[in-house]
Structure 1
Amino acid sequence: MDSKVDSKTKERDQMRRQFTRTSKKLEDYIKNTEISSAIIEYEYLKECTEKIKMLDNVIAEKMIDGDEHVYNEECDQSANFRKIYLTLKYKMDKLIQSKFTKETTTSNLNLPKIELLKFDDDPRKWIAFWGQFKKIHESNTLQPEDKFQYLLQGLKEGSKAKMLVSSFPSSAANYIKAIEELKDRFAKEEI
């Protein structure tokens, strides 16, 4: 091996040691969700990765005509460092995304609860009622039996709509039937 390759190999080995130390620190910061420290380590890791990649290319170019086994080992080591970097990049992206999601969903606004509109048989009010109730109806987290109870709560006492829905025993299958009956009777497209 000539002296230029030898000096580049030493330089690359030093960068790989720094990469290994930095990647271990970064793993700990990610695990403990210490985002500020993780970002600093990640930025340094990116620099190390670029430098290693450049040195790997220089060394590989010089070794391509040499021993195939040694060349293949070099390529495998380069690939392993690249995989470690990509794994940590993915973890950092997830950490930042989760931090961003938490910050955007945790609002400082104290909005009042939205009160469910009470439908009172007036077909002109069906669109407003259904526009609000549709969120409950399409929810994947609520059981149909619970949706049935919300539907009953959303109908005005003494109304024909309330009497219609109350005529169905509370069950998942009857919830769908009650919704279909309400739509048939009160949902008018042209209003």
Structure 2
Amino acid sequence: MYLSWSGVRLSQAGYVSNDPYEMEADHFAAGLLMPERLFKQIIKGRDPGLSVIENAGAQCKTSLTAAAIRYADLTEYAVAVIISTGQLIDFCFMSDTMKSLPQLSWLKKGAPVPRNTETARFNADPSRILIGDRATIEIDVLDWLGGQRSAIVTEEVVGLGRYGKTLTVLSSAAIGREDEGEDDEDELIDKWTPRFHR
């Protein structure tokens, strides 16, 4: 089943096609149905995570998956959106802030879902996926994306029903903000340091 708008089809209920042409059409439709300016207004001032994605999808009348991908593309927060089937990754989209973490391991199509994650536990029970069950935990980003820097992220998992897929959203409001705080403090110290003219 598809949502249509001006002849554009966008898959519903989180369906993700393996057809590259359909994926390209979904990306095009995401930009058309969720224009950058409007989408940024919808997400502005909201904490990162699944609830803001669901709200954006509802307001734009798009699938949860399409809204999640657009969110990862446009948010200022550290976010990764992962679709998986069973214990395998279908795809992963990351926000620029998440990509800024040093030496990440990029999750590729067909890679295994990391073992010690809520998604791996969730996907081990297909009935949870079928009924659209949800789970949320705090986890170290290293467990999902590797790299060199430990940081706690929220892992939110939702089953996408009869398609047998799972949507995982990793999010953090803190990643990328620590350095800004240090820069602000350095700037403040420099501003108030007395200078003597000769």
Q: TM-score, normalised by structure 2?
A: 0.22
Looking at CA atoms only, which structure, 1 or 2, has the larger radius of gyration?
1
More helix as a share of residues: 1
Q: TM-score, normalised by structure 1?
A: 0.22
Q: Which has the higher contact order (CA 8 A, sep 6+)?
A: 2
